[in-house]
Amino acid sequence: MMIPAIDLIDGQVVRLFQGDYQQKTQYQYTPKERQQVYADAGATVMHFVDLDGAKDNTKRQLSVLRTVVDHPSMTIQVGGGIRSEQDVKELLALGADRVVIGSLAIKEPHLVRQWIETYGGDKIVLALDVRIDENGNKQLPTHGWIKDSGVTIEDLVDDYIKVGLKHVLCTDISKDGTLSGTNVDLYIELCQKYPSIEWQASGGIGSLDDIKALIGTGVSGVILGRSLLEGKFTLEEAIACWPTR
């Protein structure tokens, strides 16, 4: 399944280079317009990141998100600075189908485990950014990829799977934003080890061949951001090259 991704700042569709707010590309259409393009092309799931909310959760773009979360034909997942249960409740009440949680899942796992138990595994997506070290350990850095948490992805998933974890969006940091291809071996390994998880592959997709390389890995979804915005291929082409279950 192809999952188009849109990042939002001040109600605008943007892309950041390597997560740097100072290196921003802004696109000349509204989130709602771009979402409809993706819906018309056949997307059934969409991923939104509220970058204002990620910076300061008191500045969450609720009025903008309200225009896109309640879609008749799409499952909508939303992330960006989820720091409290109130944030989760707010986004679910707004109409989001899934709430995406990143660094908090590493820093305060007891909290996020409770949320999965409370709201159900289908309502929570863990967004895990992996840095693979020279020994092949899949580390999960925090604080904008700077600080090493001392936790591996296997440590974390082993913990969360006990409470019903279902969705994980996994990004190899070294591939993010590069359009140079994705880490196929990483996804093969994770999907084989945790077949009950619906894995979303993210980072590095720059061509249809990069998507085709993920066929057979076991991932359930492929996040497409910059590649679609920059016209490397169309969403229709991406969907056509992915086998239906």
Cα radius of gyration (the chain): 17
**149 touches 141 (CB < 8 A):** yes
- Give catalytic residue positions: 7, 129
Maximum CA extent, the chain? 46
For residues 144 and 132, give the distance between their C-alpha atoms in angstroms, rounded to a whole number: 16
3-state secondary structure of 122: helix
CB atoms within 10 A of CB 78: 27
What amino acid occupies position 186?
A: L
- What lies within 8 Å, CB to CB, of 224 at 6+ separation is 2, 3, 4, 5, 205, 235, 238
For residues 23 and 16, give the distance between their C-alpha atoms in angstroms, rounded to a whole number: 6
For helices 153-160 and 109-119, give the axis angle rounded to 10 degrees: 40
